[in-house]
Structure 1
Amino acid sequence: MKKWLWVLALAMIGAGMAPHAYSQTASSPAVSAPGEPPELRVATIVAPPNVMERNGTLTGFSVDLWNAIAARLKVKSSFQIEPDVSHLEEALRSKNADLIVGIFITSARDTDFDFSIPTLQAGLQIMVRDTGQTAQTTSPLRDMLRLLFSRTTMVWLGIALVLVLIPAHIVWLFERRRPNGIISGPNYFPGIFEAFFWAISTLTGSPEGMPHQWVARTFAIFWIFTGVVFVAFYTAQLTTTLTVEQIRGAIEGPSDLPGKQVATLAGSTAADYLRAQNAEVQEFATPDQVYKALLDKKADAVVLPAPLLLYYAAHEGKGRVKTVGPEFNTAPAAIMVQLDSPLRRKINLALISLRENGTYQQIYDKWFGSP
């Protein structure tokens, strides 16, 4: 009797541990009941219009395309939403998912995973706040301070410093021994400071007296003229910069991204691109968090795949944001599977069939419009 009790206890323990062990070691699609089609675990993240939730169900371009592929393969599928891209990759790497839909091909991912033929070709694009929406909140004081401490101003101040040092030494050299001159004595200190102050005041249009020595006086007249030209050019440069920014906006293309606060998805190809461009990258887990950072003025711009931005700008962000500049850094998106997975060839054959019979084009037109 005791022997049978031990056998029964061991059987119950084994039954309780079996599901956990399978989740750790599963390397193939989930097992289905006899006679039923196999079930594949499809991992993805919510990123309209590729993947979106409506009334408790998933829809979108990537979802519709995969459902068409699954029907072609005669398999069932269950979707699992991951919080971000890194969790997507980990789900596939740990074999808790059989495939990932709508992910971009990169050299790093190609080392660890296999990809289907491309399902979508898309470039990155820039999105900014709509200037018409934010014009009323523009602060003249903030704009003025930003210009005064801008790179343009720093360059002009550096030029001015060089220009001031030269005439200051010339005036000191000729005036240091003149009685009742603008330099109080022959010594370099404090005489050079007096000459330096005279050069600065003359450059800005308010000269503090004139040198008495004829060479220094002649040079002073030339220096007054130089100061007038310098101030005029500097004023014109600031005015031009302010006018251009008000008309065109601070960001209008990829060349304007260096040094700007740019929001994007964590672990995405966009994040890698922005770091290479010396932008100040802000990474978020979901597209909604990326868009919120832009609207809350925590970021100057957003960089994401163009389809995502165009969809958001035409729907939830309409009137609040706009896309600027061309698409850039174009890359293919595909279905990602485990290395050497037999699913890869089956998915490729199904995709080719869907392209040939027009199903792929119908799904594409539904979400992105016809070319």
Structure 2
Amino acid sequence: MLSRLRSILTVLLLVAAIGALPGLVSRADAAPRQLTVATRELPPFVMTDGEVKSGFTIDLLNEVAKHTGWSYTYLDGGNVQGLLKAVAEGKADLGASAVSITADRAKLFDFSQPMLDAGLQIIAPVGNTQKAQPGLRQFLQLLFSKTMLVYLFAALVLTILPAHIIWLLERGNKESMVSRSYFPGIFQAAGWGLGLLARAPFDPPRRWPIRMMTVLWTFVSLVFVAYYTAILTTNLTVARITSQINTPADLVGKKVCTVANTTSAAGLEKFGVQYTGVTKIDECYTGLADRDFEAVVFDAPVLQYYVAHKGAGVAAMAGPIFKSEDYGIVFPIGSELRRQFDDAMLSVQEDGEFDRLKRKWFGTGA
């Protein structure tokens, strides 16, 4: 009897011990732990002021730390490739900034659940996103384009040629509107020719052959001026239409900038758009402000933050998001930290802190 009681007691103790295991594991997972985080500077996700880091991603990591007991030291990866390399080589326990989750990256890393829905978008100089008529600058550019210069040269020929004919035949008449001397007579005749080209000739010639030529030249001038006006108007209309940028198709033939070796660069290649790849997005912003670029393509939240702050009045959003992407936290393959992060992330979402962070950094429309 005594032996039976001992057996039953032993079984009960084993059951109690097994039931306590999850709690023990949970407490072990939540134990304080120092982690190295590979990151990169990218407003509004990660920003550095002296030794203090801030931004949406930093705030999210700090909220997660409240549930996991983690603390962080940061390692600057420079760009997304450097960030991923630090995680792959074991120099960092995780990577966090604004890293798009892609199929190729998922083969090499474990990703947390998406921390933000994002995608690619376009910004362009303010003048290229409005539907107003071209301004003085655009007009002068068209007026002195190669095509227009050809027509201006033709107008010069149409003025100089009749000017010499008029001067040669009219200089002998005392009542003629041109002087007998080549100077200023040729200038007087040229002025008459320019007036004729503008449909407002000076004093009519005195000799009948010249008057007949004037009638013929009037028709030539009418046709020339009408054709020139039509070409100029057409080019202004085309310039107005082609200056609009709303979709990736509008980027073909434009000077486009993006960050090299990113999902935005891959997206442009997919659409067949030529681009300039730079190291940091700030280089695109500078080029856009200096009119070296006509458009910038990059992650939508990053561009929206720029337009709302430093880029206000310089650039504007051009069209909707055209390639949806999700951002996630990067972990080495098989890392036990990923599940702990996801569990903590769910808690942050449930207690409303996640929505508060989105409103703080991206506004009510995040």
After TM superposition, the score normalised by the length of structure 2 is 0.63
1:180 corresponds in structure 2 to none
Q: Provide the alpha-carbon RMSD of the alignment.
A: 3.2
Q: Work out which of the residue numbers 110, 116, 128 in structure 1 matches 2:112.
A: 116
Q: Work out which of the residue numbers 85, 89, 93 in structure 1 matches 2:84.
A: 89
Shift of 1:140: 3.8
Q: Using a 3 Å threshold, how does the CA distance of structure 1 residues 355 and 133 change in structure 2: closer, same or farther? A: closer
1:142 corresponds in structure 2 to 141
Q: Work out which of the residue numbers 299, 313, 316 in structure 2 matches 1:319.
A: 313
1:282 aligns with 2:281: no
Describe the SS at the equivalent of 2:53. Answer: strand
1:128 corresponds in structure 2 to 124
Alignment of 1:90-109 (within 5 A): 90-101=85-96, 102-109=98-105
Shift of 1:367: 0.6
Shift of 1:121: 0.4
Conserved 8 A contact 2:128-2:244: no
Q: d(CA) in 1 for partners of 2:258 and 2:39? A: 17
Q: Using a 3 Å threshold, how does the CA distance of structure 1 residues 236 and 352 change in structure 2: closer, same or farther? A: farther
Describe the SS at the equivalent of 1:290. Answer: helix
Q: Using a 3 Å threshold, how does the CA distance of structure 1 residues 74 and 242 change in structure 2: closer, same or farther? A: same
User: Residue by residue, what CA displacement relative to the aligned partner does 1:20-56 show, whole Å, maximum 9, x if unpaired?
Assistant: xxxxxxxxxxxxxxxx822111111111111112353
User: Residue by residue, what CA displacement relative to the aligned partner does 1:67-105 show, whole Å, maximum 9, x if unpaired?
Assistant: 111221101111122221211111111111111112101
Deviates more, 1:95-104 or 1:132-141: 132-141
1:264 corresponds in structure 2 to 258
Q: Using a 3 Å threshold, how does the CA distance of structure 1 residues 232 and 255 change in structure 2: closer, same or farther? A: farther
Describe the SS at the equivalent of 2:317. Answer: strand
Describe the SS at the equivalent of 1:131. Answer: helix
Q: Work out which of the residue numbers 332, 343, 346 in structure 2 matches 1:338.
A: 332
Q: Using a 3 Å threshold, how does the CA distance of structure 1 residues 133 and 360 change in structure 2: closer, same or farther? A: closer
Shift of 1:116: 0.5
2:363 corresponds in structure 1 to 369
Report how many aligned residue pairs link the two structures: 258
Q: Using a 3 Å threshold, how does the CA distance of structure 1 residues 307 and 293 change in structure 2: closer, same or farther? A: same
Shift of 1:259: 2.5
Q: d(CA) in 1 for partners of 2:342 and 2:121? A: 28
Describe the SS at the equivalent of 1:251. Answer: coil
Larger Rg: 2
Unaligned ranges ≥5, structure 2: 1-30, 149-224
Alignment of 1:62-211 (within 5 A): 62-101=57-96, 102-131=98-127, 138=137, 140-143=139-142, 148=147
Q: d(CA) in 2 for partners of 1:318 and 1:37? A: 43
Q: Using a 3 Å threshold, how does the CA distance of structure 1 residues 61 and 141 change in structure 2: closer, same or farther? A: same
Conserved 8 A contact 1:259-1:278: no
2:192 corresponds in structure 1 to none
Shift of 1:305: 1.2
2:36 corresponds in structure 1 to 41
Conserved 8 A contact 1:39-1:78: yes
Conserved 8 A contact 2:288-2:295: yes
Q: Using a 3 Å threshold, how does the CA distance of structure 1 residues 327 and 40 change in structure 2: closer, same or farther? A: same
2:352 corresponds in structure 1 to 358
User: Residue by residue, what CA displacement relative to the aligned partner does 1:199-256 show, whole Å, maximum 9, x if unpaired?
Assistant: xxxxxxxxxxxxxxxxxxxxxxxxxxxxxxxx99998687345235437734232220
| Counterpart residue identity of residue 68, structure 1 | E
Q: Using a 3 Å threshold, how does the CA distance of structure 1 residues 347 and 241 change in structure 2: closer, same or farther? A: farther
| Counterpart residue identity of residue 74, structure 2 | F
After TM superposition, the score normalised by the length of structure 1 is 0.63
Conserved 8 A contact 1:118-1:334: yes
Q: Using a 3 Å threshold, how does the CA distance of structure 1 residues 56 and 138 change in structure 2: closer, same or farther? A: farther
Q: Using a 3 Å threshold, how does the CA distance of structure 1 residues 252 and 144 change in structure 2: closer, same or farther? A: farther
Shift of 1:345: 0.7
Conserved 8 A contact 1:254-1:325: no
Q: Using a 3 Å threshold, how does the CA distance of structure 1 residues 40 and 250 change in structure 2: closer, same or farther? A: same
| Counterpart residue identity of residue 131, structure 1 | G
Unaligned ranges ≥5, structure 1: 1-35, 150-230
